[in-house]
Structure 1
């Protein structure tokens, strides 16, 4: 029995009948390595009037040292579906164990025009990422963000999720900080981290993301969250 459970909206049901391997093979070009990203949104509350998203800061000894990203990681060969892989990665990296997946998202539509990326580390020429459409069961189509690295095609499926309960606990060997951030903070690339995330003191952080595509998917999660009524 797994240490986590998850639920999903009806729109994601087709993904429950596809193995990650068949999803990767259906892409054009075929995806060599498939990953997931979980964009966990927190609706407004009396103490937090703006919706927020959960982000983690990578370990300084890892690739993309001290860059920020949503929870996620590689799909394992033993994962029966990409949704299972997303729930597993979320649990392993944050200890959150009961996500509800609302939908998938790609990069932000206005990514190329948005000025928020300038001046804090993510430049358009750093990454040749693009979204590709992948046809699955029943004529349904999902979009996967793909990029080339070490002559392989990598693909990432980004899921918008909410979690009703649970405390965030990060693995110190993978991430050194975590926090909940507003859309404005993500766009500006700067935020003040509260003491609740384990920092020694409250101070402003520069939010440098692992890639432009990751930054774009975070912005898209806020837009889709409003559109679906995840928060108002």
Structure 2
């Protein structure tokens, strides 16, 4: 079995010793299936001292034959029985889906707590509505000191699923390589592009990654759910709060 390495902030230390099963059991309601999602942020270097770059987040577009076909999402997936912790699961999923290694986990993030009316109207048809999948954030105790993380739970096929989202960074210049059986596109997107739900992408019939392709057009970014969209926006806010991005 491949050993995946990662580093983490002190606030996440309790998650390095607890099994995913123990975390699921302390949730109310108890979580039947636990997942992870990795919000990889970066601050691109500027070629000009007078130009400020916009921070970006890594998103992947799902395969058309998969569930939520052709929707966008951060890297992540279900926790396997062999995963000893949620952080090791997140590291494994990140590597399997993007070939990125040795992430630095900074904190956890839940759904955006406040979505203004304009944003809510614009993203009405972008993904499953929170009320349709009963999406909500619940607190999960992670140590005896009373510290908690917020996990986004949702209902699917009568089971309670929980997703632990982590804000992370990777080494500068790390190369993204996706698994074509799982995702068909990838790209780094700004907060404004995520909020608008539109970005300049290769033509719909183009091949390869978003970055570096010829023949581009502005296309809609449709997310797997509004809960995922809200979590991506929240990652930008939290990333700035922690000075991970500016």
Q: TM-score, normalized by length of structure 1?
A: 0.94
Cα deviation, residue 58, structure 1:
0.2
Corresponding residue for residue 190 of structure 2 = 182
**TM superposition shift of 1:198:** 6.3
For structure 2, list consecutive stretches of 5 or more residues without a partner in the other structure: 203-208
**Given the alignment, which residue of 153, 166, 170 partners 2:178?**
170
Higher mean alpha-carbon deviation, 44-53 vs 8-17, is at 44-53
Higher helix fraction (1 or 2) = 1
The alpha carbon displacement at 1:164 in A equals: 1.1
Cα deviation per residue 1:41-63 (whole Å; 9 max; x = unaligned)? Answer: 01142058100000000000000
> Which residue of the partner structure matches residue 95 of structure 2?
91
- Of the candidates 134, 158, 161, which is equivalent to residue 165 of structure 2? 158
Alignment partners' CA distance in 2, 1:113 and 1:80: 41
Pick from 111, 127, 131 the counterpart of residue 137 of structure 2.
131
- Size of the aligned set, in residue pairs, is 232
Partner residue in 1 for 2:206: none
Q: Would the aligned equivalents of 1:177 and 1:197 in 2 still touch at CA under 8 Å?
A: no
Q: Offset at 1:120?
A: 4.7
RMSD: 1.9
Would the alpha carbon gap of residues 22 and 155 (structure 1) be closer, same or farther in structure 2, given more than 3 Å must change? same
Q: How does 1:1-232 map to 2 (within 5 A)?
A: 2=2, 4-46=4-46, 49-111=53-115, 113=117, 115=119, 117-118=122-123, 120-122=125-127, 123=129, 125-137=131-143, 138-165=145-172, 166-193=174-201, 197=211, 199=213, 201-232=215-246
Q: Mind listing any 5+ residue stretches in structure 1 that lack a counterpart?
A: none
Answer yes or no: is the 8 Å Cα contact 2:98–2:177 preserved in 1: yes
Q: Is the 8 A contact 2:130 2:225 kept in 1?
A: no
**SS of structure 2 residue aligned to 1:61:** coil
Q: TM-score, normalised by structure 2?
A: 0.88
| Equivalent residues of 1:42, 1:52 under 8 A apart | yes
